[in-house]
Amino acid sequence: MASVPLPLLTEERYLEIERLAETKSEFYGGRMFAMAGASPNHALLSNNIGSLLHRQVPPACRTFNADLRIKVVPAGLYTYADCSVVCGPLQLTTDRRDVVLNPLLIVEVLSPSTEAYDRGAKFEIYRRLESFREYLLVHQDRQHVEHYSKQDDGEWLLRESKGEAGVISIAHLGVTISLTELYASVFGD
- Could you report the per-residue pLDDT of 117-141, keeping only the tens digit for each? 999 999 999 999 999 999 999 999 9
Domains in the chain (CATH in brackets) are: 40-182 (3.90.1570.10)
23 and 72 Cβ atoms separated by less than 8 Å: no
* Cβ contact 65:92 at 8 Å: no
Could you please report the per-residue DSSP string of 48-88? HHHHHHHHHS-TTEEEEETTSEEEETTTTEEEE-SEEEEES
What pLDDT digit, counting tens, does each position of 75-130 carry?
999 999 999 999 999 999 877 889 999 999 999 999 998 899 999 999 999 999 99
pLDDT at site 14: 94
In the chain, the percentage of residues whose pLDDT exceeds 90 is: 85
Q: 129 near 77, Cβ under 8 Å?
A: no
Nearest to 79, CA basis, from 44, 107, 54 = 107
Are 65 and 109 in contact, with CB atoms under 8 Å apart?
Answer: no
DSSP-H helix ranges across the chain: 11-20, 40-56, 115-119, 121-126, 179-182
State the pairing for strand pair 69-72/99-100. Answer: parallel
pLDDT digits (tens, 9 = 90+) for 53-67: 999 999 999 999 999
